[in-house]
Structure 1
Amino acid sequence: MKDRLATRVADALRSQITDGHVKPGERLLSETKLAELHGVSRTVIREAIATLSFEGLVQSRKGAGIFALEAQTGPFLNLDPGKVSSVIELLELRRAVEVESAALAALRRSPQQEERIIAAHRAVLDCLQTDAPTRDADFDFHLAIAEATNNSRFAEFLVLVRVGIIARGELQTGRENIRPMDYNRHLAEEHDAICRAVLAGDEAGARQAMQEHLKGSVARYRALLHQNRYTGN
């Protein structure tokens, strides 16, 4: 229920920003006032703001409030992380980019970039251990790999598709905020394989580990798409 409310609030605030009712640089209402306006708790407001922040539409400034950012224009703006088909389309495209990204990272990473990859991997594991949302940490892990190619275009691509890069949690089971029992295992094991290969300088191994990770993700979401087709979820 909470996820559904947060999605509704995020959709409403997103529309205000993209439609120009709230202009870039303008401060949004406080969490308390937004909660009163939408009839929800401040926790729901925080989750909605976190979604918009992930999408690059708002920025929280300590002690100042939450400010609207300029809505992006260009390709990939119609990505919908709430649709299985959209997630699959993007995963297939990511396979074409990130497999080579992992291979190049294995060859070109610097010691500082190795530290960043390790830290990003640990952040994902921490989220899994505490049952916290993995969306931001998951994206940051893939971004750290892309940055380690030392070809800025790889990271730029991930930032460009960031809105749709991590699916909404309810897609994984068809129910809100409930993951399949093996979802965490897949994420932890597959990320670990990528991390180990990159840090070992294993170009072929890194390529294969990323291929298996994204290929496995496509397979899992295709299975979910077929399941939803027959169950009506």
Structure 2
Amino acid sequence: MCTRDSKAGKRVSATTSNKSTPHKTAGKTLVVTVRDALRAQIESGTYQPGNRLPSEAQLTREFDVSRTVVREAIAALRADRLVEPRQGAGIFVLDPPQSHDLPFQNIDFVRISSMIELLELRTAVEVEAAALAATRRSPSQEENIIDCYRDLGNLAKAGAPTSQADFALHLAIADATNNPRFREFLSMIGPSVIPRRALNEGTNERASQTYLKVIDAEHEQIVAAILEGNEAAARDAMRHHLKGSQSRYRALLRGSNTPG
């Protein structure tokens, strides 16, 4: 079955008598567990701006982890500007950072020009993702790519919406790079990165089916190249797919009635 979530992160288990120790969630590393627990304490006011965090030794005992885990968790909080070290004094909680608009949130997904802009950005990233997936994928990741591709095809044949399944396939390819930043990039944009989701897929069922057949053929080439471990072919197939989408939506922008 095609999965929508990445499988990264080792499972951890540890026991401690300290009541502050968070439950270890499957899929989370100890660093992430400690980081999230400290973040929650800061956000809840347990540690307020200006407060000093417990010493490294105290946190090591509190969470029943190594000093390395504590240091990496603190480093992650520093990167988020939640805490800062002060020479000879310790780690102190900062005022909450000012909120800023997240990237990609101001895109008007109804405008075809926005679709083209995103397709250009996706091309710059996903072409290389396909090439990396061809050389780095694991057997389980191959299976997930195949499952996602089959799910997409079955939905298309049934006349059901396919944009979510299309997004899942691209996420599966991103996961197969074994570089989590590729999934993070796609997830940050979200499922609306699939243009037809924003353009009312299925309004014209005949045109939609014609379009989906073209997309299916392109996806088949991408999947086949990845499974064969052909880096160059995977790169070319993904480029052809995304460049083709750009061309189709530019035709729409010029006044064509359908993207097919």
- Same fold per superposition (TM over 0.5): yes
In 2, Cα distance between the equivalents of 1:214 and 1:121? Answer: 17
Write out aligned runs for 1:20-39 (5 A): none
CA positional deviation for 1:135: 1.0
Q: Which one-letter code corresponds to 1:121 in the other structure?
A: Y
Q: Does 1:146 align with 2:156?
A: no
Q: Which one-letter code corresponds to 2:134 in the other structure?
A: A
In 1, Cα distance between the equivalents of 2:241 and 2:195? Answer: 15
In 1, Cα distance between the equivalents of 2:209 and 2:191? Answer: 25
Q: Does 1:191 align with 2:219?
A: yes
Deviations 1:106-153 (A, max 9, x none): 000000000000000001101111010001100000000000000000
Between Structure 1 and Structure 2, which shows a larger proportion of helix residues?
A: 1
Does structure 2 retain, via aligned residues, the 8 Å contact 1:95–1:214? yes
| Cα distance change, pair 146–127 in 1 and its aligned pair in 2 (3 A) | same
Q: Which runs of 5+ in 2 are unaligned?
A: 1-99
Which residue of structure 1 lines up, in the alignment, with residue 242 of structure 2? 214
Deviations 1:71-97 (A, max 9, x none): x95100122332111110000000000
**What SS does the corresponding residue of 1:227 show, helix, strand or coil?**
coil
Q: Which one-letter code corresponds to 1:162 in the other structure?
A: G
Does structure 2 retain, via aligned residues, the 8 Å contact 1:106–1:199? yes
Q: Does 1:176 align with 2:207?
A: no
Q: Does 1:79 align with 2:121?
A: no
Which residue of structure 2 lines up, in the alignment, with residue 93 of structure 1? 121
**What SS does the corresponding residue of 2:115 show, helix, strand or coil?**
helix
Q: Does 1:132 align with 2:160?
A: yes
Q: Which one-letter code corresponds to 1:176 in the other structure?
A: T
| Cα distance change, pair 184–98 in 1 and its aligned pair in 2 (3 A) | same
Give the TM-score of the pair, scaled to structure 2. 0.56
**Identical aligned pairs, as a percentage?**
52
Deviations 1:47-73 (A, max 9, x none): xxxxxxxxxxxxxxxxxxxxxxxxx95
Which residue of structure 2 lines up, in the alignment, with residue 3 of structure 1? none
In 2, Cα distance between the equivalents of 1:119 and 1:138? Answer: 12
In 2, Cα distance between the equivalents of 1:168 and 1:189? Answer: 17
Does structure 1 retain, via aligned residues, the 8 Å contact 2:109–2:198? no
In 1, Cα distance between the equivalents of 2:136 and 2:209? Answer: 36
Does structure 1 retain, via aligned residues, the 8 Å contact 2:148–2:172? yes
In 2, Cα distance between the equivalents of 1:155 and 1:118? Answer: 18
In 1, Cα distance between the equivalents of 2:209 and 2:148? Answer: 23
Query: Residue 204 of structure 1 is aligned with which of 221, 226, 232?
Result: 232
Q: Which runs of 4+ in 1 moved over 4 A?
A: none
Q: Which one-letter code corresponds to 2:228 in the other structure?
A: A
Does structure 2 retain, via aligned residues, the 8 Å contact 1:172–1:180? no
| Cα distance change, pair 143–163 in 1 and its aligned pair in 2 (3 A) | closer
Does structure 2 retain, via aligned residues, the 8 Å contact 1:197–1:205? yes
| Cα distance change, pair 195–217 in 1 and its aligned pair in 2 (3 A) | same
CA RMSD of aligned residues (A): 2.2
CA positional deviation for 1:162: 1.2
Does structure 2 retain, via aligned residues, the 8 Å contact 1:169–1:177? no
CA positional deviation for 1:172: 7.8
